[in-house]
Amino acid sequence: MESVNGIGGVFFRSNEPSALADWYEQHLGVKKTPESYDEMSWWQEKGPTVFAPFEADTDYFDDSKQWMVNFRVADLDAMVLQLNEAGITVDVAPETYPNGRFAHLTDPEGNRIELWEPAGYDATG
């Protein structure tokens, strides 16, 4: 079975994206998104990641649901085929970018998901 092999990005709305990106870089060390394909993105250390949907009425975090998760995949075509065979509609971006290929789908609750096959990415690395 094809599966995602990591989180490639988390995208969310902000009233002041530039200032917020500066804050994350200054205080948490999360490097800002590069302004060109010649620059490197922030690389994470290998380690565990928890992916846990919560009950809709949880008080663990606020009610905002304004996010999109980007999952890295090793083989976008194989993942899209597998999802299509399961009856899931996936929109594959027609363009290949310098940083790779992308596709979009939504989960059963309408949350947007982006799949990303990075250019030159070695998932075993």
Q: Which CATH class is domain 1-28+67-125?
A: alpha beta
Structure-model confidence comparison of residues 63 and 4, the more confident one: 4
Angle at 77 between CA 72 and CA 81, to 5 degrees: 110
**What is the predicted pLDDT for the residue at 94?**
96
> If we measure between CA atoms, which residue out of 69, 98, 73 comes closest to residue 6?
73
> Would you say 70 and 117 are in contact if contact means Cβ atoms under 8 Å apart?
no
Give the pTM: 0.74
- Tell me the per-residue pLDDT of 25-77, one tens digit each, with 9 for 90 and over: 887 778 898 889 888 888 887 877 778 888 878 776 766 567 778 999 999 99
**What is the predicted pLDDT for the residue at 62?**
61
- Tell me the per-residue pLDDT of 100-118, one tens digit each, with 9 for 90 and over: 999 999 888 788 899 999 9
Structure-model confidence comparison of residues 84 and 122, the more confident one: 84
**What is the predicted pLDDT for the residue at 51?**
80
**What is the predicted pLDDT for the residue at 34?**
86
In the chain, where are the structural domains located?
A: 1-28+67-125
21: CB partners within 8 A, 6+ apart: 32, 33
